[in-house]
Amino acid sequence: MQRNGPDRRAWETPRAAGLAGVVFALLLAATIVLLRLGIPEGADAADAEGFTDPTRREAVRAALALIPFAGIFFLWFLGAVRAHVGDAEDRFLATVLLGSGLVFTAILFGAAASATAVLAVAHPAGSAPSLATWDFGRHFAYTLLTDYAMRMAAVFVSSMSVIGTRMGVLPRWLSAVGAVTALVLLFVSSNVPWAELVFPAWSLLLSVHIMLAGGRRRRVTPA
């Protein structure tokens, strides 16, 4: 009886990792879409005037409300994935994986705070923010998101793909998708709008694979 408890928890870890990853992927994708629609990256003075539209402001507020939960679920996803890999993981790559994941979360929260500043600037209710404030807040938020957070995400994806390949816990096709995802996040996301959506897409693929693999292991586990 004492042995069944730890074994059961070990088999439940992949399902927990997959569920947390799915929720994180959906929340991050929704956040990116809402921010892109609410605060266009290539906006000008006319867009600053249009930001008085309640629909755009509510889209940004909804995105900012989702980011803390996306960060929380990502931390659970990160911890559960490391538990799924096990004690045999490479310490160097595991450190890079953990560090990049934590830095990504911190920068994501920083981008949310800068986007909040666009909403909280001192101007009369119902009027547009000043062009200087609009430009600073918008550029700062997108720089944090696309230049820094997504490059930390690239390090996270690449280190996870290498760990998965070395230990054989990821199929070759998923490792190849991870390599392409890392390259896109590293070199493309800062220049091509919407390219950052490849990170939640990869996270969703990894999460589904972990859930399916965990289900197969549970079916073959002796009673």
Give mean pLDDT, residues 200-205: 95
Distance between CA atoms of 122 and 137, rounded to whole angstroms?
Answer: 13
Q: What is the DSSP letter of 148?
A: I
For the stretch 83-94, pLDDT in tens is: 767 665 677 888
Question: Model-level pTM?
Answer: 0.83
How many Å separate Cα 92 from the centre of its chain? 22
pLDDT at residue 90, rounded to an integer:
73
Largest CA distance in the chain: 68
Distance between CA atoms of 96 and 102, rounded to whole angstroms?
Answer: 10
Orientation angle between helical segments 172-187 and 150-167, nearest 10 degrees: 160
Distance between CA atoms of 17 and 21, rounded to whole angstroms?
Answer: 6
15 pLDDT band, cuts 50/70/90, is low
For the stretch 142-168, pLDDT in tens is: 889 889 999 999 999 999 999 888 887
- Residue 77 corresponds to which tokens in the numbers above? 């996803």
